[in-house]
Each structure stands twice: as structure tokens, then as C-alpha cells.
Amino acid sequence: MPTEKPKSAGKPETGPAATERLHTPASPTAPELSEKQLRHLRGLAHALKPVIRLGGAGLTDAVAKETQRALHDHELIKVKAPGGDRDARNAAFSDLAQRTGSALVHRIGNVAVLYRPRADLPRILLPD
């Protein structure tokens, strides 16, 4: 009967799983926003055009990464999803907000508004 060797506590973990853990950044937490701040952001987002469009494949890693980049550049973006099942679309918007560490400001029809302030230089000033 073979016995398992105990893992050494001082030995670093190797392999693809360890490499992915080392290179995957921790997703930032979503900002907590008051109702007054949400109204302000909805007003700012009204004139925006969708920057990210979800395709037939839905929410992929590439879409999440591009959304991260867009949030870093713009702080406030619109995301458009294809029509279809409302629950699936809402779940995709919620999942995208969670994966990018952004706040889901508004959701209407096929469009959602996401907000994440830049840590180094916020461009959008929120009311108190």
C-alpha cells in the first residue's frame, strides 16, 4: 500500500496552478456608493456610448480584461450585452462587475453602467 509523502512546508509550490496564482492579480473590491452618488453617476453616464460589447460567447476572460483596462482609462463605462434571456444578461453584468471590482451603477435593457475610481488619480468627483 503506497503512502503519500507529506508536503514540505518550506518548499515553494510549482506547476501551472502555482504560476496562475502568482500572476493573477487580486480583484479590487467594489466601491460602496450612496444613493446620491449613484444618481450623480447615472447622470454622467447618460451621454456615454457603450465601450464594451459582450458577444455570443458571453463573458470571457478577454472581455473581463478589456473591461479592466477600460475602467482604468475612463472610470465610468457602459457595457452592452446581446438581447435574450434577462436573467442571464443580469447575471453576466453582475459577474463582470464582481470580476473587475467595479460597482454596478445602473442596468436598463441591454446596457449596464460600471464605475471604478482610479486609485492613483480619480477623475470623477463624487458628492458626499
Say which amino acid occupies 93.
F
Residue 96 lies in a domain: yes
- Comparing CA positions, the residue from 40, 84, 77, 31 lying closest to residue 58 is 84
Report strand pairing: 111-115 vs 103-108: antiparallel
Say which amino acid occupies 64.
A
User: Which residues contact residue 73 at a Cβ distance below 8 angstroms, ignoring those fewer than 6 apart?
Assistant: none
The pLDDT of residue 30 is: 82
Cell 445602473: give the residue: 106
Among the ranges given (13-17, 59-63, 70-74, 96-100), the one the predictor scored with the smallest mean pLDDT: 13-17
102-125 confidence digits (pLDDT tens): 999 999 999 999 999 998 888 999
Residue 7 lies in a domain: no
The grid coordinates listed for 98 are 464582481
What percent of the chain has a predicted confidence (pLDDT) above 90? 67
Residue 101 lies in a domain: yes
Residue 35 has pLDDT above 80, yes or no: yes
Q: Domain residues for 89? A: 33-115
Residue 93 lies in a domain: yes
d(CA 17, CA 126): 40
75 and 117 Cβ atoms separated by less than 8 Å? yes
Residue 23 has pLDDT above 60, yes or no: no
User: Considering its fold, how many domains does the chain have in total?
Assistant: 1
Query: CATH number of the domain that 100 lies in?
Result: 3.30.110.60
d(CA 77, CA 62): 17
